[in-house]
Copies of this chain bind each other. A is one copy, B any other.
Amino acid sequence: MKKIQVPKESVKRLFLYLRNLNYLAQEGRETISSDKLAQDIYVSAAQVRKDLSYFGDFGRKGVGYNVQSLISDIKSVLGLDKKWLVALVGVGRLGSALLNYPGLEELGFQISVAFDIDPKKIGKTYREVKIKDSSQIEKIIKKEKIKIAIITVPVSAAQKTADVLTKAGIKGILNFSPKYLTIPENVKIKTVNIAIELGNLAYYLTHSESEARSFI
């Protein structure tokens, strides 16, 4: 095991390995080789081994990796060995879609509270998640010690929402509004922009000699 900078792409691939491992566990598989683990993800066996080696020696030479223990090792590496409470701000179409998004809990995420400013929505319960008034963001997030939030408000309200969230102690933001959000240095932000994803597709369709496959 070494203590050097881990490539961002290696981290992303860990999620893919984890997904494969979960399938294998379901099938009752006990051990797996890097070669098999790499299958279907368009990655080499050496890449798999290298990625894993950034975090520890998880395999046994001549044998491979134990499926169950590799699952828990990767989960632990990714910080998925505990439950993450998530706050959702903006219960519009996209927001309520996310409340129903399958696979969040699989990785240990639980949207535990949602906020909106629409009086018609406030007070309702959506998929066991209570919708609260946005004016209570700071109070509730502080009280529940929530660290991750999803922003699905209209673009005009996005920056103000980010400000309130960071003030409330949120440390990670998944932002769906197509806009720069200015946030403190110590807060992590990830922006998902669907128009840009489509745009990428358009680029690679236009220049179709290259590739745009992405299995993440």
Contacts and interface: CB of A to CB of B under 8 A. Distances in A.
Query: In the assembly, how many copies of this chain are there?
Result: 2
Interface string A99-142: 01111101111000000000000000000000000000000000
A201 B180 CA distance: 17
Contact of A210 (B5, B171, B174): B5
Contact of A194 (B11, B98, B178, B212): B98
A78 B102 CA distance: 33
Nearest to A81: B206
A61 interface: no
Interface in A64-103: 77-80, 84, 86, 92-94, 96-98, 100-103
Nearest to A214: B190
B197 A148 contact: no
Interface residues of A, number: 68
Contact of A212 (B97, B108, B188, B200): B188
A139 to B, nearest CB: 22
Interface of A: 5-6, 11-12, 15, 19, 40-41, 77-80, 84, 86, 92-94, 96-98, 100-104, 106-109, 147-148, 150, 155, 171-174, 178, 180, 186, 188-208, 210-216
7 contacts: A15-B200, A92-B97, A104-B198, A109-B198, A188-B201, A190-B214, A192-B194
CB-based closest 6 A-B pairs: A79-B206, A93-B97, A172-B201, A94-B97, A188-B212, A103-B195
